[in-house]
């Protein structure tokens, strides 16, 4: 019991660092042999003790489980573990690497259970999702579409960091347009059948900043009014960083 607790603590720390959600349904009362997140293959601290119990046993079942749609028959054809084989931890490790290299999975866990008829090996999988669409929603205050604000990672594997980076770009564009109190809420939808992610950034613009005072510094060649007319800036007009930096 203590062994399982120690491993779970290590795992929770790793999941927190990698921004992966903890799913208690993945963890049953079976020996966890390997765990792979983001291509990093881990083993619990009790790895050697657990493996020693199974070396030499014949594999009677190879299962593939996921909360999302997967194709077990296809996966069975690419892993190095098969029914009728004698258990070899190197084959399990090789199978995890092969599954990860398909780019279809972000989380791979392998556990073993000793049954009367032999050893049951179970691959618990969380598929990768790929960015399929990005859009702006809510208050239509930005003049430029999202694709003009920043390159979009269409077709790339989903990651929370990519969403946060895009969110920062939207917030920057809003500030540049004078919406300093704007809120942006990312609405993320996972389409399980197609393994796609759509992200809509919902904008709550709030009040737009207005210019209360304009001060010119230096020795301009033109009159103040002429300069402000060229810059299209006037007291009371809405602030727009593009306009204020447009002419020099």
Tell me: do 65 and 92 sit in the same domain.
yes
The pair of three-digit structure tokens given for residue 72, joined into one six-digit string: 């077990």
Is the pLDDT assigned to residue 10 strictly greater than 60? no
Q: What is the pLDDT of residues 100-127, one digit of tens each?
A: 888 889 888 888 888 999 999 999 999 9
Those residues with Cβ within 8 angstroms of residue 224's Cβ, 6 or more apart along the chain or in another chain: 216
Domain that holds residue 121: 2-127
Tell me: do 15 and 93 sit in the same domain.
yes
Residues 41 and 93: beta-carbon distance below 8 Å = yes
CATH number at residue 69: 3.10.20.310
Average pLDDT, the chain: 78
Chosen domain end from 127, 161, 184: 127
pLDDT band at 54 (very low <50, low <70, confident <90, very high): confident
Tell me: do 123 and 134 sit in the same domain.
no
Tell me: do 78 and 122 sit in the same domain.
yes
Is the pLDDT assigned to residue 182 strictly greater than 90? yes
Tell me: do 147 and 163 sit in the same domain.
yes
The pair of three-digit structure tokens given for residue 199, joined into one six-digit string: 């992200």
pLDDT of residue 161: 95
Task: Classify 58 as helix, strand or coil.
Answer: strand
Tell me: do 121 and 6 sit in the same domain.
yes
Mean pLDDT value of segment 140-162: 92
The pair of three-digit structure tokens given for residue 55, joined into one six-digit string: 């070396």
pLDDT of residue 136: 96
Q: How far apart are CA 185 and CA 166, in angstroms?
A: 11
Total domain count for the chain?
Answer: 3
Range of 3-7, 101-105, 159-163 with top mean pLDDT: 159-163
Task: Classify 196 as helix, strand or coil.
Answer: strand
């Amino acid at each position: 019991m203590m062994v399982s607790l120690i491993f779970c603590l290590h795992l929770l720390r790793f999941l927190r660092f990698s921004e992966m959600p903890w799913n208690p349904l993945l963890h049953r009362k079976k020996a966890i042999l390997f765990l792979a997140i983001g291509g990093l293959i881990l083993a619990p601290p009790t790895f050697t003790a657990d493996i020693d119990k199974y070396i030499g046993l014949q594999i009677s079942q190879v299962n593939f489980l996921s909360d999302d749609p997967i194709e077990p028959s296809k996966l069975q054809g690419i892993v190095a573990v098969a029914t009728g084989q004698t258990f070899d931890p190197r084959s399990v490790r090789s199978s995890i690497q092969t599954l990860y290299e398909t780019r279809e999975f972000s989380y791979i866990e392998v556990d073993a259970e000793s049954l009367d008829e032999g050893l049951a090996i179970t691959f618990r999988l969380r598929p990768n999702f790929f960015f399929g669409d990005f859009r702006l929603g809510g208050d239509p205050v930005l003049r430029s579409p999202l694709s003009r604000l920043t390159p979009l990672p269409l077709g790339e594997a989903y990651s929370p960091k990519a969403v946060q980076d895009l969110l920062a770009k939207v917030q920057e564009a809003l500030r540049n347009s004078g919406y300093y109190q704007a809120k942006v809420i990312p609405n993320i939808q996972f389409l399980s059948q197609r393994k796609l992610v759509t992200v809509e950034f919902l904008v709550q613009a709030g009040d737009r900043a207005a210019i209360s005072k304009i001060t010119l510094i230096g020795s301009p060649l033109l009159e103040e009014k002429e300069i402000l007319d060229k810059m299209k800036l006037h007291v009371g007009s809405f602030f727009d960083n593009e306009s204020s930096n447009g002419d020099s």
